[in-house]
Amino acid sequence: MSHSTNQHADDFAQLVAEQHVQLRSFIRTLGVKPDWVDDLAQDTFLVAHKELGSFERERDFGKWLRGIARNLVRNEVRKDARRRRLLSENITNILLNSDNEVEETTLLEESRMCALRDCVEQLPSKSRELVSGRYGDGWTASDMAEQVGMTAAAIRQALVRVRRQLKQCIESRTTEVEL
Amino acid sequence: MNKNHLDELIGLLLDDSIDETQINELVAIISDDSAALQQLREQLILSDRLSQYEDDLRSEASFLAAIETRLVASESGSQFISNVIRSAELPKSNQPDSKTSNWLLLVTSVAAGALAASLFLMVFFKPSVPPANTTVTQLEEPTDDGVAVLTKAVDAVWNDENSPAVGVPISPQDIRLSSGLVQLEFYNGANVIIEGPAHLELIDSETVICHFGKVRARVPQHAQGFTILSPGVELVDLGTEFGMEVSQDGNTSVHVFEGKVELYDLDSDRDMNSRRELLAGDAVEVAMAGETRSIEVEESTFVSVVKLDEMELKSQQERFLRWKELSVKIANDERAIAYYSFQTESTTSRVLENQTAENSNHLDGTIVGSSWAEGRWPGKQSLEFKRPSDRVRVHIPGEFKSLTFAAWVRVDGLDRKFNTLMLTDEFDPGEPHWQINREGQLILGVNHPDQKAHDYKSPTIINLQNLGQWIFLATVFDADNSTVSHFLNGKMISEEALMGSTMLKIGNAEIGNWGVPISKTRAAIRNFNGRIDEMMIFDAAIADREIRSMYRIGRSR
């Protein structure tokens, strides 16, 4: 008895540690507002914790969690008072109805996680500054405009480009490792 | 489809500055262009990845802690606790039975929560260590598996998502600092300053492994025996002050500034043959291969406690200056209806000055009982609330559709069933009560005349981890969006739909206590235990990102 409950806690702790980074990003891709991503990810883990007994070990844990998350986000669409957790109901509906396992997992693999740090730290200093302003300090483009001497539109454009570069950088690094 | 236009819309979306029309445009594009949809999905993933990487509010540590808290709180959590307790094989007689008083049940469940929490953390961070034998004592009192406290951090950048916070106990773990300086005070009394980049491993309260990096340790007599292991040497301190530097390739240099230390070959089990004694003024370099040579002692290259204090003070002064600029902005913000910056010319003053440009004097508060104390930084003042009589009386006229309360507070304890931030004297229709309950939940109570009075509650946010720390609390009553939301340290922690549309009014009210209504002979005591060093009230719903930015500028470190 004591062994199995410990085992249960161990399994769950390991599950959270292994999956939380990918799961959080996945929830963002369903159109959840940035400030609510972590809360929904926590909801997902709480459901998973309750259902852990019914999970078969040989199945794909990440896929199972994503299924739970998808259901929670569907509930969000239905609940009126909580609508604010989503960027837009329409966007979420499109994202929910179109996602398929093959596409979504390409950027959500464990090996690609470590690469992010290297890629971010290699960015040119101007891009690096924009990234830490936007994501570290939470400024919007117009908050930063004066300080970095760019227009807000140019900053947003630059950040779209930076994210695209980072995606390529991460993918190329992962390929190198695989070779 | 015009790709630039798509980029522009995605850019706006991920900047949180997209409007309704632009959302509809984006929806139109992605509904029939799968490549555009894929672009959006990739940008969303990367955006979240970057936010997880950059935003310390989303660090792995705080995410895991939140799950743990929620598990403990939820039904499945209590199951989890009982499982953990059962697995620790407690004798049955120690379980609280149904006759136990509520009080005991509360104490026990809090303690069990703490126990479960520490076991939970244990499985997270130290999977190889089995849970310690549980004893009755551990059930009755929260336990602390810490070995040291992080007491100072200057420009510290951690290499790890799971970065320790100042003031919080540190359990045995790896410490990876990419730059900056931190000071650890070990429970046995040793004081260690680490200069980044460094990688240390805390084993217990008297043993540390330094994989690389620069440390300076001051070890008082009673902490004798404090040991640092490097890749080439084992250093045992005999009551002294010394510096150790371990290079990336594993060479160790040891500089003794005071007292004496002993060096042994690594893995020699302190073999007397390998023993070398270094006295004040001695310095040696030990190569990975084992050969040792004497070098010049260089005290000045190791940052001392005094120097670190100076550096910390400087960085605090910079924060204080940035806050002062923000403070002027808030005072001139038209939405501010009352702003108490808790700064005074004279600490004998019994007036808490309101800083808003309008109605400035009328809104001044009267200090009763409370005394002035230090706030977030040296030079920043605060009021300390300790005794049941301590309070600040204010009068804030007007009727408001939306309201935002925000305050920097240091909660020292949750002594009462309700602990006041700001309460109106009565609880008449339209009056808000802003307080924290004993369970550590932030509450906005509103007396809706058309409905029943309702407590808008956050989950538990005050816990053993942040007692005694400066935290930023905010609550937004948003009539336009019909919501009440609570914020801790710039992050929204809960949001609830409004129960009724009510114009709010404050009138006679108190900060840190509940004014006894004259009509009532007895009123519950709701005095706040702790310090407050800034409080502001706006007659508008302040946006999430503004609250976040107030936190970032105002935080103590």
The residue-averaged pLDDT of B352-372 equals 90
Does position B541 have pLDDT exceeding 60, yes or no? yes
How far apart are the CA of A90 and the nearest CA of chain B, in angstroms?
7
The residue-averaged pLDDT of B450-470 equals 86
The structural domains of chain B, with segments of one domain joined by +, span 58-140, 148-303, 312-554
Predicted confidence band of residue B544 (pLDDT cuts 50, 70, 90): confident
Q: Which of A137-151, B63-77, B207-221, B476-490 has the lowest mean pLDDT?
A: B63-77
Put simply, whether B7 touches A (Cβ < 8 Å) is: yes
Give the highest mean pLDDT range of B269-283, B401-415, B443-457.
B401-415
More confident residue, B518 or A34: A34
Question: In whole angstroms, what is the distance from residue B108 CA to residue B537 CA?
Answer: 38
Residue B342 has a pLDDT of 96
Q: CATH: 3.90.1150.10, 3.30.70.370, 2.102.10.10, 2.60.120.200. Which one for B312-554? A: 2.60.120.200
The residue-averaged pLDDT of B488-501 equals 89
The answer on A101 and A35 residing in a single domain is yes
The answer on A85 and A32 residing in a single domain is yes
Q: Where are the beta strands (DSSP E) in B341-425?
A: 351-352, 365-368, 371-374, 381-385, 391-400, 403-413, 418-424
> A94 and B24: CB-CB below 8 Å?
no
Question: In whole angstroms, what is the distance from residue B470 CA to residue B412 CA?
Answer: 10
| pLDDT tens-digit readout, B424-436 | 998 889 999 999 9
Put simply, whether A177 touches B (Cβ < 8 Å) is: no
The answer on A66 and A24 residing in a single domain is yes
DSSP secondary structure letters along B433-502: EEEEETTSEEEEEE--SSS--EEEEEEE---TTTTTSEEEEEEEEETTTTEEEEEETTEEEEEEE-SS--
> Among candidates B484, B368, B502, which has minimal Cα distance to B434?
B484
Instruction: Say whether B312-554 and B148-303 share the same fold.
Output: yes
The residue-averaged pLDDT of B275-301 equals 87
Residue B517 has a pLDDT of 61
Single out the residue in A105, A139, A154 at which a domain terminates.
Answer: A105
Does position B131 have pLDDT exceeding 50, yes or no? no
The answer on A51 and A97 residing in a single domain is yes
> B7 and A157: CB-CB below 8 Å?
yes
Put simply, whether B74 touches A (Cβ < 8 Å) is: yes
Put simply, whether A141 touches B (Cβ < 8 Å) is: yes
The residue-averaged pLDDT of B439-444 equals 94
Question: In whole angstroms, what is the distance from residue B42 CA to residue A103 CA?
Answer: 10
Single out the residue in A51, A71, A105 at which a domain terminates.
Answer: A105
Determine the 3-state secondary structure of B157 from DSSP.
strand
Give chain B positions within 8 Å (CB) of A9.
80, 83-84, 87, 119-120, 123
Does position B283 have pLDDT exceeding 50, yes or no? yes
Residues above pLDDT 90, as percent of chain B: 44
Residue B238 has a pLDDT of 84
What's the Rg (C-alpha) of chain A? 19
Q: Could you tell me if B414 and B525 are in contact, meaning their C-beta atoms sit under 8 angstroms apart?
A: no
Question: In whole angstroms, what is the distance from residue B402 CA to residue B495 CA?
Answer: 15
Nearest residue, CB atoms, A24 vs list B42, B52, B70: B52
> A28 and B66: CB-CB below 8 Å?
no
What domain count does chain A have? Answer: 2
Question: In whole angstroms, what is the distance from residue A75 CA to residue B351 CA?
Answer: 51
| pLDDT tens-digit readout, B445-458 | 999 987 788 999 99
Residue B79 has a pLDDT of 45
Single out the residue in A105, A133, A150 at which a domain terminates.
Answer: A105
Q: Which of A124-128, B269-273, B295-299 has the lowest mean pLDDT?
A: B269-273
Residues facing residue B511 across a β-bridge: B392, B422
Question: In whole angstroms, what is the distance from residue B312 CA to residue B296 CA?
Answer: 29
> Among candidates B364, B254, B347, B249, which has minimal Cα distance to B302?
B254
Backbone angles phi and psi of B217, in degrees to 5:
-120, 140
More confident residue, A175 or B42: B42
Token duo for residue B8: 């522009």
Q: What is the dihedral of CA B381, B470, B59, A56, to 10 degrees?
A: -170
Mutate: best of B15, B124, B161, B546, partner A, most A CBs <10 A: B15
How far apart are the CA of A179 and the nearest CA of chain B, in angstroms?
24
Mutate: best of B24, B42, B45, partner A, most A CBs <10 A: B45
DSSP category for residue B194 = E
CATH architecture of the domain formed by B148-303: Sandwich (2.60)
Intra-chain end-to-end CA distance of chain A, in Å: 45
Q: Which of A6-10, B231-235, B286-290 has the lowest mean pLDDT?
A: A6-10
ipTM over 0.95: no
The residue-averaged pLDDT of B211-235 equals 89
| Pairing state between β B207-219 and B227-229 | parallel
Q: Could you tell me if B197 and B208 are in contact, meaning their C-beta atoms sit under 8 angstroms apart?
A: no
> A91 and B491: CB-CB below 8 Å?
no
Nearest residue, CB atoms, B71 vs list A46, A84, A98: A46
Token duo for residue B57: 């509010």
Put simply, whether B499 touches A (Cβ < 8 Å) is: no
- Report the 10 Å Cβ neighbour count for A160: 24
Give chain B positions within 8 Å (CB) of A26.
45
Mutate: best of A16, A105, A118, A127, partner B, most B CBs <10 A: A16
Question: In whole angstroms, what is the distance from residue B403 CA to residue B479 CA?
Answer: 8
Does position B105 have pLDDT exceeding 50, yes or no? no
Q: Which residue of A has its CA nearest to B41?
A: A29
Residue A136 has a pLDDT of 84
Does position B256 have pLDDT exceeding 90, yes or no? yes
Give chain A positions within 8 Å (CB) of B47.
28, 34, 135, 163
More confident residue, A135 or B99: A135
Does position B91 have pLDDT exceeding 70, yes or no? no
User: What range does the domain containing A79 cover?
Assistant: 2-105
> B11 and A157: CB-CB below 8 Å?
yes
Q: Which residue of A has its CA nearest to B90?
A: A2
Cβ under 8 Å to A: B residues 118-157: 119-120, 123-124, 127, 131
The answer on A138 and A158 residing in a single domain is yes
Give chain A positions within 8 Å (CB) of B548.
138
Nearest residue, CB atoms, B44 vs list A28, A46, A138: A28
CATH number of the CATH domain containing A33: 1.10.1740.10
Put simply, whether B480 touches A (Cβ < 8 Å) is: no
The answer on A76 and A125 residing in a single domain is no
The answer on A142 and A61 residing in a single domain is no
- How many residues make up chain A in this entry? 179
The residue-averaged pLDDT of B184-211 equals 91
Residue B55 has a pLDDT of 83
Nearest residue, CB atoms, B123 vs list A13, A131, A140: A13
The answer on A151 and A91 residing in a single domain is no
The residue-averaged pLDDT of B457-461 equals 91
How far apart are the CA of A25 and the nearest CA of chain B, in angstroms?
5
Residue B108 has a pLDDT of 37
| pLDDT tens-digit readout, B302-318 | 988 888 888 888 888 88
Q: What is the dihedral of CA A59, A61, A66, A72, to 10 degrees?
A: 100
Does position B114 have pLDDT exceeding 50, yes or no? no
Nearest residue, CB atoms, B11 vs list A24, A34, A160: A160
The answer on A96 and A14 residing in a single domain is yes
Q: Which residue of A has its CA nearest to B76?
A: A50
Size of interface A-B (CB pairs under 8 A): 194
CATH number of the CATH domain containing A131: 1.10.10.10
> A142 and B84: CB-CB below 8 Å?
no
Put simply, whether B492 touches A (Cβ < 8 Å) is: yes
The answer on A94 and A16 residing in a single domain is yes
The residue-averaged pLDDT of B201-219 equals 91
Residue B407 has a pLDDT of 98
> A116 and B548: CB-CB below 8 Å?
no
More confident residue, A58 or B494: B494
- Ranges in chain A, pLDDT < 50: 1-3, 102, 178-179
| pLDDT tens-digit readout, B137-178 | 333 456 667 889 888 888 888 776 566 778 778 888 888 888
Q: Which residue of A has its CA nearest to B497?
A: A81
Does position B130 have pLDDT exceeding 70, yes or no? no
Nearest residue, CB atoms, A141 vs list B17, B60, B119: B17
Predicted confidence band of residue B128 (pLDDT cuts 50, 70, 90): very low
Question: In whole angstroms, what is the distance from residue B168 CA to residue B61 CA?
Answer: 13
Backbone angles phi and psi of B456, in degrees to 5:
-90, 110
The answer on A71 and A125 residing in a single domain is no
The answer on A19 and A99 residing in a single domain is yes
Angle (nearest 5°) at CA B313 between B310 and B315: 110
How far apart are the CA of A28 and the nearest CA of chain B, in angstroms?
6
> B89 and A91: CB-CB below 8 Å?
no
Residue A77 has a pLDDT of 84
Give chain A positions within 8 Å (CB) of B495.
82, 84
Mutate: best of B44, B82, B163, partner A, most A CBs <10 A: B44
Put simply, whether A50 touches B (Cβ < 8 Å) is: yes
